[in-house]
Amino acid sequence: MARESESGLPIEPVYGPQDLAGWDPAEKLGEPGAYPFTRGVYPSMYTGRPWTMRQYAGFGTAAESNARYRQLIAHGTTGLSVAFDLPTQMGHDSDAPLAHGEVGKVGVAIDSIEDMRVLFDGIPLDQVSTSMTINAPAALLLLLYQLVAEEQGVPADRLTGTVQNDVLKEYIARGTYIFPPKPSLRLTADIFRYCTAEIPKWNTISISGYHMAEAGASPVQEIAFTLADGIEYVRTAIAAGMDVDDFAPRLSFFFVARTTLLEEVAKFRAARRIWARVMREEFGARNPKSLMLRFHTQTAGVQLTAQQPQVNLVRVAVQALGAVLGGTQSLHTNSFDEAIALPTATSARLALRTQQVLAHETDVTATVDPFAGSYAVERMTDEVEAAAVGLMDKVRELGGAEAAIEQGFQKAEIERNAYRIAQETDSGERVVVGVNRFRLDEEEPYEPLRVDPAIEARQCERLAALRATRDQGAVDSALTALKKAAGGEDNVLYPMREALRARATVGEVCGALREVWGKYVPTDAF
């Protein structure tokens, strides 16, 4: 019986040469590290060195997260990835009424430079690559990182890492937005300009499809809407007067890896090909690095189950294998208990060990692009590419990603797909092991990690002490300068940096920008 892929594309029982009729390998594939980068962005890929092994971590206070980072580094992780709590993600201090009950719950609470200083205490910032999953207030957290590095004696031109900074997907799928799209895009362009001048090795954005996938997007929707967002960011930067080759080499992407391994490999290959073509043909990029779709991958949290959580170890291993066979540049493997609570130190270590087994005990790093020429994968790559381009064309017809967001297009498309998945799961047509088939009569007990509720009170005490000991006049003056820049055309990151240096809080800085730019109110108009 014929099956369909996650994107609704047909999967044939068998593939052969007839399925690639008219297929020109030289045009479609090329060589690894060369246009159109179907086979990977670097000639040697993992035969030279494996991907960067990042583990996404952060919870409670900065001190607790710092201890977890030190553990991960000791166990062999090669890159840190910071999770921030919801108040930080939405630009609120821990003592704000809206923050009550959420402080330190899904990530670390960062209210000021003092918290950032504790978060990276004893971690040499010139020797680690740090990814920060932060969007609307991305500029603030990046500047706090730079200021802490400065205190360590590390110049900004030696810092490496990524700030997610992808606010468009927040309007589509995730919801941790602050400002309306237009000023948010202006802030993104200011980050591009700032990093080009001040932090040249930093990846200024990680354009993310992961959260769309978590909201229910199919693989085709994931790459189509992500690349459409990427196009919007490029247009914004060019409209702000930047040359495409000045900022495009520092763009990066962030995708999910599902258990549907073959389509995921095809998805990654198709995304590289589409992006290379768009950058060369639409934007006239000349630097080969501007054409490269470099991406981080995280295994699919949405596919983890609270039932029989140990089975998630198997799911994560398959998902990670798909990411590696698809050519990811860095990878985070979820812990098996994340459907229940924050991961324990043991489960986080097991997640890292999954990557280490793939890198050192299998032969997937012995050759570049192992699936090249596979009848099934090459056909799937073509089909995913064609479907994604068709969806991107619809976004263009609506006026681009920002205009389509305002009309609710992407959100509606993803919600329709999420509903389809839910129906298939409820009916049993889509098998989820341990949930609708192969269930246990009684679940085995498991003790999750719990965040101490007293963290909120301690963060509030730290904020009170900060405000009592800082130079309030200097803070007020710096925030006034920030609002003036936000109301004009100057790059807001420079006055923002000085406000943070004066010990203004994340909430105060975001509040100053809210006064000028306003807050976003979502629409369901489409």
- What are the φ/ψ torsions at residue 175 (nearest 5 degrees)? 95, 0
Per CATH, the architecture of 3-10+49-427 is what? Answer: Alpha-Beta Barrel (3.20)
Cβ–Cβ contacts within 10 Å for residue 79, how many?
A: 22
Domain ranges of the chain: 3-10+49-427
> For residues 508 and 483, is the Cβ–Cβ distance under 8 A?
no
* Distance between CA atoms of residues 484 and 237, nearest Å: 21
- Angle among Cα 155, 156, 161 to the nearest 5 degrees reads 125
* Distance between CA atoms of residues 168 and 229, nearest Å: 7
* Distance between CA atoms of residues 516 and 92, nearest Å: 17
The H or E element that residue 252 is part of is: strand 251-257
* Distance between CA atoms of residues 137 and 157, nearest Å: 22
pTM comes to 0.91
> For residues 478 and 504, is the Cβ–Cβ distance under 8 A?
yes
- What are the φ/ψ torsions at residue 11 (nearest 5 degrees)? -115, 115
Residue listed under structure tokens 């297009």: 409
pLDDT in 10s for each residue of the chain, 526 residues: 468 999 999 999 998 888 887 777 777 788 999 999 999 999 999 999 999 998 777 888 999 999 989 988 888 887 788 999 999 999 999 999 999 999 999 899 999 999 999 999 999 999 999 999 999 999 999 999 999 999 999 999 999 999 999 999 999 988 999 999 999 999 999 999 999 999 999 999 999 999 999 999 999 999 999 999 999 999 999 999 999 999 999 999 999 999 999 999 999 999 999 999 999 999 999 999 999 999 999 999 999 999 999 999 999 999 999 999 999 999 999 999 999 988 888 999 999 999 999 999 999 999 999 999 999 999 999 999 999 999 999 999 999 999 999 999 999 999 999 999 999 999 999 999 999 999 999 888 888 778 888 999 999 999 999 999 999 999 999 999 999 999 999 999 999 999 999 999 999 999 999 999 999 988 765 4
- Between the CA of residue 25 and those of 28, 29, 106, 377, what are the distances in Å? 5, 5, 46, 13
